[in-house]
Structure 1
Amino acid sequence: MTHSFSTLSEFRALLAAAPGADADAMAGAAARNGQLTKPPGALGRLEDLAIWFAGWQGTDRPRCERPQVLVFAGNHGVVAQGVSAFPAEVTVQMVANFRAGGAAINQLSRAFGAEMAVHALELERPTKDFTTGPAMTEAEVVAALRTGWEAVNPAADVLVTGEMGIGNTTPAAALAAALFGGDPSGWVGRGTGVDDAGLARKADAVTRGLALHAGALGDPLEVLRCLGGRELAAMAGAIARARVERVPVVLDGFICTASAAVLERAVPGALDHCVAGHVSAEGGHSRLLAALGKAPLLDLGLRLGEGSGAALALGIVKGALACHSGMATFAEAGVSGA
């Protein structure tokens, strides 16, 4: 059943009512894991990953045969503060590259058999500069959340969300600082490669944004509205829909994780269906994952975005589920167990 919402309150209610993992499926997967032709624990984290996937897919033999990759693109008014090494026009150009199949995420989606779609969110109309006012109205943030929500295929067996948006590491850092506190300079990173002066401008923009919107910091969804961006909200909407449909999610880098963190702070446990695909080289990502209690599957120094790290982690997911669901048990193989 497709649920709908038209306000942030209705969105929060849907997320709060979302189902949890299937305990019986997890128990069945754990029992099966104990009978597979291998020494106990020999596949390490792959075993835990398979059992976890079983709970969200509702079967003791989970699969990764219909992965979905969604890339959302948006533009940001805060780039006026000199926080990016690239101009906003690059967002439009990269969307064209995604649609032509020429980006890294296209190759990784193809390599791991994922259905990929790109959604551009009003690129001609950037969000407002959050150092001078709220980034979005409620109608705008709800529209972005709905774009993500409606893009999810409920028949997918795993979801990856990625983003493109020049300047978007700045709102991501602002979200992280607003949600978890601390000095903004500890959350900002070099993004697409800003120099030291650019890094200082990012920290200053986040500091001013937090001060301006201090009254909103107690409500995570208001934090998203005031300090976020359309593509960040769309990722949050997609991840929330996946929770409602019990589709497991592989989180990408800093921007994706900051978007997802809004959900966890709004409704504790909202990210129980999410695993961290990787830890990126972007400042603050490892700290953010630690705050969420998510151990990454990969650590390769990536900082591209687009969903690329999470898409690469689909290889780990596929390996874990292929071993768990395809291996023979001792009885089936006629092998003497311990």
Structure 2
Amino acid sequence: MSSLNLDDFSDLIERPDSGTRRDAEERRERLVVPSGALGRLDELGEWLSAAQGSVPVKAVRQPRVVLFAGDHGVAALDVSGRPAGSAHVLVRAVLEGESPVAVLARLAEVPVRIVDAGLDCDPALLPDEVVRHRVRRGSGRIDIEDALTVEEAERAVRLGMAIADEEADSGTDLVVLGDLSVGGTTPAATLIAALCGTDASVVTGRGGAGIDDLAWMRKCAAVRDALRRARPVLGDQLELLATVGGADLAATTGFLLQSAVRRMPVILDGVVSAACALVGQRAAFRAPDWWLAGQLSGEPAQAKALDRMALNPLLDQGVTVGEGSGALLALPLVRAAAALAAELPERAAAEPAEDAAEYVTG
């Protein structure tokens, strides 16, 4: 029997400071650039100000990319464009600077942290700092068996919580969240279908590596079978993660919830982080107020999850590669919003708002 109840997070998580947000909105009305002229950047700046509890908003100085890695047994059904058990190859590509997220992180000068929650490989293939967190080697085939035991699911959630605490304690002020998984979009689609009450065909996409029609049909069947196993445990989020999630998804869920407890904003990437966020919302309804949807990947399950959480993606570039790449592309927008909100001057006290419009229109 687990000693962890995810519903307890509902009492621990508060919304970003509404008073600070009102102050930020009032300050925005006084800037030389008319309200609305900067579009969503205004909203972003006010959201970040409330999250920080600071007016004017502070610059994002210590962002971090955090990637949870794991393999999924369901990949053995050829539902992924990559071989089962090969997520360690993705990890090595990031470590060697040869993956999309590694390139983008170098460009943005943002450090990357990889957490091995459930890779199915010999630990000797990876550096010690990557593998030391592993909950188990791979996750079970969710169409016919549980991904994890409940005890393993609890360990994975607590792992994610511990990583969030480490990041918050080290001064990280914004997290770009992603995953490094093979087969991970299948449990993600299952979780979203279960929580949204939809059928497998509605949520099954082509995944980050891309799959043909036959593989899509196999994936759809796997989601359908996993859904049958998920529905009886919908009342318990931890048991749901154990039944049809995986070590990396459970750890990501714990990370998201504890980040909200610690008031640390997070940018979500694709369908995997969206699925974990949806589980987190089920446990603590205020938690999504601490998260941004970085991008719309084109995965149908992701769109459904974001709609359920009322999160409006910042970008729509169709980036399906995962790894946090799409979320990292959104980071410059967040930084720009913070800089504009903090550095644009206010109008002189006697200057009417309509005169300020000349600043923009000439």
**Which band: TM-score by shorter chain?**
over 0.9
Residues 224-235 of structure 1 correspond to what in structure 2 (within 5 A)? 224-235=241-252
Q: Distance in 2 between matches of 1:199 and 1:42?
A: 44
The answer to whether the aligner puts 1:77 opposite 2:73 as a matched pair is yes
User: Which residue pairs with 2:317 in the alignment?
Assistant: 300
Note if 1:284 corresponds to 2:294: no
Counterpart among 21, 34, 41 of residue 39 in structure 1? 34
Partner of 1:201: 218
Aligned residue number for residue 138 of structure 2: 126
Q: Distance in 1 between matches of 2:352 and 2:144?
A: 70
1:216-260 CA-partner distances (Å, limit 9, x unpaired): 123333222211111111221211111011111111111110111
Structure-to-structure mapping, 1:89-128, within 5 angstroms = 89-124=85-120, 125-128=137-140
Matches for 1:5-16 after TM superposition, within 5 Å? 7-9=3-5, 11-16=6-11
Alignment of 1:234-313 (within 5 A): 234-313=251-330
In the aligned structure 1, how far is the partner of 2:109 from the partner of 2:173?
12
With normalisation by structure 1, the TM-score equals 0.93
CA contact (8 A) 1:134 1:213 kept: no
Q: Is the contact made by 2:193 and 2:203 (CA closer than 8 Å) also made in structure 1?
A: yes
Bigger drift between 43-52 and 276-285 goes to 276-285
Task: Report sequence identity in percent.
Answer: 36
The DSSP-based 3-state class of the residue aligned with 1:250 is: strand
Structure 2: how far apart are the matches of 1:257 and 1:212?
Answer: 21
Q: What is the identity, as a one-letter code, of the residue corresponding to 2:249?
A: L
Tell me, yes or no, if structure 1 residue 150 matches structure 2 residue 162: yes
Flag the 1:203–1:294 CA change in 2: closer, same or farther, 3 A: same
Match of 1:214 in 2: 231
Distance, in Å, in 1 between the alignment partners of 2:98 and 2:78 is: 28
Cα distance, 1:96 vs structure 2: 1.2
Provide structure 2 residue ranges, at least 5 long, that are not aligned to the other structure.
121-136, 355-362
Structure 1 counterpart of 2:61: 65
Structure 1 consecutive aligned stretches of length 4 or more whose deviation exceeds 4 Å? 334-337
Deviations 1:58-82 (A, max 9, x none): 1012221111210111011111222
The alpha carbon displacement at 1:214 in A equals 3.1
Do the aligned residues in 2 keep the contact of 1:174 with 1:210 (CA within 8 Å)? yes
RMSD: 1.8
Q: Measure the CA separation in 2 of the matches of 1:218 and 1:147.
A: 22
Conserved 8 A contact 1:49-1:317: yes
TM-score, normalization by structure 2: 0.87
